[in-house]
Amino acid sequence: MESSILESIGVEIIGVMSPVSICMLLVVLIVYSLCPATDSAPPIRSAANLVYLEVPTDSTVQKLEGALLNALVFVIIIAVVTFLLVLLYYYNWTGFLKNYMRFSAFFVLVLAPAGPLKLLVELSQSRDEELPALIYEARPTVLANSRHQGRSLELLFGAASQSGSVEMQPVSGNHIGTREGGEQNVHPEVIVSESTNPGNLEGLLRQGDEVERSPLVGGGLGGRSSSSSVGSEYSVVVGSRDAPEIVADEERSPLVESRRRGSGNESAERGMDDDGSESELASSGIKLGLGDFIFYSVLVGRAAMYDLMTVYACYLAIISGLGCTLILLSVCRQALPALPISIALGVVFYFLTRLLMEPFVVGTATNLLMF
Amino acid sequence: MTVAAGIGYALLALGPSLALFVTVISKKPFLILTVLSSTLLWLVSLIVLSGFWRPFLPLNSAASWPFAVLIITSVAFQEGLRLLFWKVYKRLEDMLDAFADRVSKPRLYPTDKMLIALAGGLGHGAAHAVFFCLSVLTPAFGPATFFTDQCSQIPFFLVSSIIALAFATIHTFSMVIAFNGYSEGNKVDQLFVPVVHLVAGMVTLINFTTGGCSIGIPILYIIAILTLLHCGKMVWGKLTENQIRL
C-alpha cells in the first residue's frame, strides 16, 4: 500500500512545536526545583519595574496603573535600543554586537509601521544578508526527486480556502517528471541559524547553506520577511527556496499562484543565489525567533509558580496560539508576529484556570468524583 | 511520599497513554496535532463547566445530589462537544482528502481515520488524567502521604491515579467507538458512548460513602474493560470487512 498522507502532514508544525515544548518543560522543572518557598527578598529593580514597584498594600487601581506605566517605559526602552541596533547595522558596525547579543536579553518590537525592526529587515533584505540575530529554523529535508514536502501546509490550507470543491486539477508535465521515483523521506532538521560569520566555527557548516549549529543562547529577533507591509514583530516567516517547483505549481491552483506571485520572485532569487542551481535539500522551513521561545517559557514558568494545572492550561494555550499563527502564516505567506495570539491566549487561560477551574476541579477531585 | 512515589503515581495514571503516544502517535505529526487540539477542547469544556458552576461552589459535601447534577450536566456538555469535535473532524477529513488528491496520493484509509479518532480520545484521556489526578498530585512528591476518610485503606493519591487510569481508558476508546458510530450511523455505538460516560461518572458518586471506593473502583474497571472490548470488536470487524473487500 502506498504511504498515506498522514505520514507527512504537519511535520513543520511539529518541528517547531517540539523544541518549544522541550524549552518550556525545562523551564518548568527549573522553576519547581529552584523556588519551592515564596520569595521573601525585596524585589530587585530591573528594566521591567523602573517606575513602579509593587507593594502588597497598594490598592488594585494603583497596581494596575503602575503596571501599565512600567509596560510603557519598558517598550520605550526596547524601541530605543532597537533603533540603535538599526543604526549600527546601517553603518556596518554590527561585528561586536553579535557577541553582545549573545548575552543580551531580547529585542521586542514597536508596533508602528515605521518601526525599527521593519527597517532592519528591509535593510537586510536589500543587502541580501541574514539578519544579525538568533533565530530558530525547522526545515524538512527532502531527497532530490521529490520536493513536495515543505509546502504541504500551504497546499492544504490553500485547498481549504477555496470554495471546498474537490476536483482533480491537471498536473503540469514537468512536475510529474520531478517526482518520479518518489520515496519521500522527511527528516525535520533542526538548526539554529545565526548571522553569517565565517569566524564562528562552533558548529557544523552545512553544504550550500550559511547556517551553523550553535547553542540556544541569548535572544534575538525574527527571520526574513517576504513582504514588508506588516509593521510589527517579524518573528515567524516561511522562506522557500525551491524555485523551479514554484513555476510548476503555479498552474495547479489559482489561489496558491496569486499568493505566491508576490513573494515568489524574491524567494526564487534568494534560492538561486544561495544554492546556485536546484538544491538537493529543498527547504521551506519555518523560522521562529528565540525571543519567542523566551517569552513563552517565561509565561509558563510564571504559571508554574502557582500550580501544575495552570502550567498545563498555559502550555496548551501557547501551543494552540502557535499552531494558529503557523496556519495563518501558511495562508498569508507573510512574516507574522508569533507572540500576540499565544501570549493573549496564555494570559486568558491562566486567569480563567486560576479563578474558575481550580475550585471546581480540586473540589471534585479531592472528593474522588470524576467524569 | 517521595519523588519516586510521585512519579509512580503519575505513571500509573498516564503510563498506558504515554506508551500509546510513543508507539503509535509520535510517528505521525498530524496525530500529535490531533492530540493537542482534543486536549485543548477538553480544557475549554472544563473551563466552561467551571464557569457555569462557580457561583454554586463550594458544594455542601454532606448531600450528594448536587454532585449528581454536576456530573450529569458535565457529561452532557462534554458529549455535546464530542459531537462538535466529530463535525469539525468531518470537515478536516474533506480537506485532507482534497489535499491527497492534489498531491496525487491515496485518500485517507479507514485505519487512518481510526488513528485520528484514537488520537482524539487519547487527548481527552490525557487531559482528564492531568487535570483530575496530576494537579492534586503535587503534595505526593513531598515526604508524607494522605488518606481520606471515605477510602482509608489506600492513600488518596493511589486511588486518584487508579480512577484516572480507568477514565483515561474509557475516554480514549470511546472516541473511536463514537467516531465510527457517527460515520456509519450506527445507533448502538452512538448511544453506547454517552451512556458509558454517564454511568462511569455516576459510579464515582459511590466514593462518597465510607468504604465506597472498594465497590466503585471495580465497577469502573468493568466499565473500562467493557469499552475496550467493544472497541476491539468494532475495529476487528472493520478491518476484516475491509480486507474482504480488498
Q: Is the peptide bond before B58 cis (omega within 30 degrees of 0)?
A: yes
Share of chain A above pLDDT 70, in %: 43
Contact criterion met (CB below 8 Å) for A186 and A8: yes
Question: What distance in Å separates residue A366's CA from the closest CA in chain B?
Answer: 8
pTM of model > 0.80 = no
Integer Cα distance of B149 and B156 in angstroms:
9
Question: Which chain A residues are within 8 Å of B116, Cβ to Cβ?
Answer: 6
For A37-41, A272-276, B48-52, B190-194, which range has the lowest pLDDT when averaged over its residues? Answer: A272-276
- Closest chain A C-alpha to B234 CA, distance in angstroms: 22
Residues from chain A contacting residue B204 (CB–CB below 8 Å): 368-371
**How much is the average pLDDT of A36-57?**
64
* Range from A88-97, A136-145, A196-205 carrying the lowest mean pLDDT: A196-205
Q: Which of A175, A124, A129, A134 is nearest to A151 (CA)?
A: A175
Question: Other CB atoms closer than 10 Å to residue B183's CB: what's the count?
Answer: 16
Q: Which residues of B4-39 are buried (b: 16+ CB within 10 A; e: fewer)?
A: ebbebbbebbbebbeebbeeebeebbbbbbbbbbbb
- Which residues 190-229 on chain A approach chain B with CB closer than 8 angstroms? none
Which stretch, A92-96, A304-308, A318-322, has highest mean pLDDT?
A318-322
Average pLDDT over residues A221-238: 36
CB of B141 within 8 A of CB of B2?
yes
Higher pLDDT, A150 or A304: A304
Q: What is the 3-state secondary structure (H, E, C) of A280-294?
A: CCCCCCEEEEHHHHH
A5 interaction partners in chain B (CB closer than 8 Å): 96, 99-100, 103, 105-106, 108
Mean pLDDT over A281-308 rounds to 80
Q: Is B112 on the interface with A (CB under 8 A)?
A: yes
Instruction: Estimate to the nearest angstrom the gap between the alpha carbon of B84 and the chain centroid.
Output: 16
pLDDT at B21: 94
* CB neighbour list of residue B123: distance below 8 Å, 6 or more residues apart: B34, B35, B36, B37, B38, B39, B40, B41, B42
Summarize the confidence of residues A329-338 as an average pLDDT. 80
A176 compared with B143, residue with greater pLDDT: B143
No. of helices (H) and no. of strands (E), chain B:
7, 0
Q: Which residues of chain A have a CB within 8 Å of the CB of B133? A: 365
Closest residue to A308, CB basis, from B40, B134, B148 = B134
The pLDDT assigned to B80 comes to: 93
A7 in contact with B, Cβ within 8 Å: yes
Q: Which residue has the higher pLDDT, A244 or B105?
A: B105
The CB density around residue A328, as the number of other CB atoms within 10 Å, is 15
Q: Which residues of A touch B51 (CB under 8 A)?
A: 352, 356
Question: Average pLDDT for residues A115-123, to the nearest whole number?
Answer: 63
The pLDDT tens digits for A196-223 are: 333 333 333 333 333 333 333 333 333 3
d(CA A288, CA A16): 8
Q: What is the pLDDT of residues B77-98, one digit of tens each?
A: 999 999 999 999 999 889 888 8
pLDDT, one tens digit per residue, over A47-63 is: 666 677 666 777 788 88
CB A356 to CB B47 under 8 A? yes
Query: Which residue stretches of chain B have pLDDT < 50?
Result: none
Task: Say how far apart CA A60 and CA A63 lie, in whole Å.
Answer: 5
B186 part of contact set with chain A, CB < 8 Å: no
Minimal CA separation from A161 to chain B, in Å? 10
Taking the Cβ of residue B241 and every Cβ of chain A, the question of whether any pair is shorter than 8 Å is answered with no
Report the DSSP beta bridge partners of residue A287.
Answer: A137, A237
Q: What is the pLDDT of residue B10?
A: 92
16-45 in A: which are within 8 Å (CB) of B?
Answer: 17
Highest mean pLDDT of the ranges A108-112, A302-306, B11-15? B11-15
Predicted confidence (pLDDT) at residue A104 exceeds the cutoff of 60:
no
Asked if A5 lies within 8 A of B96 by C-beta distance, the reply is yes
Give the residue with greater pLDDT, A371 vs A162: A371
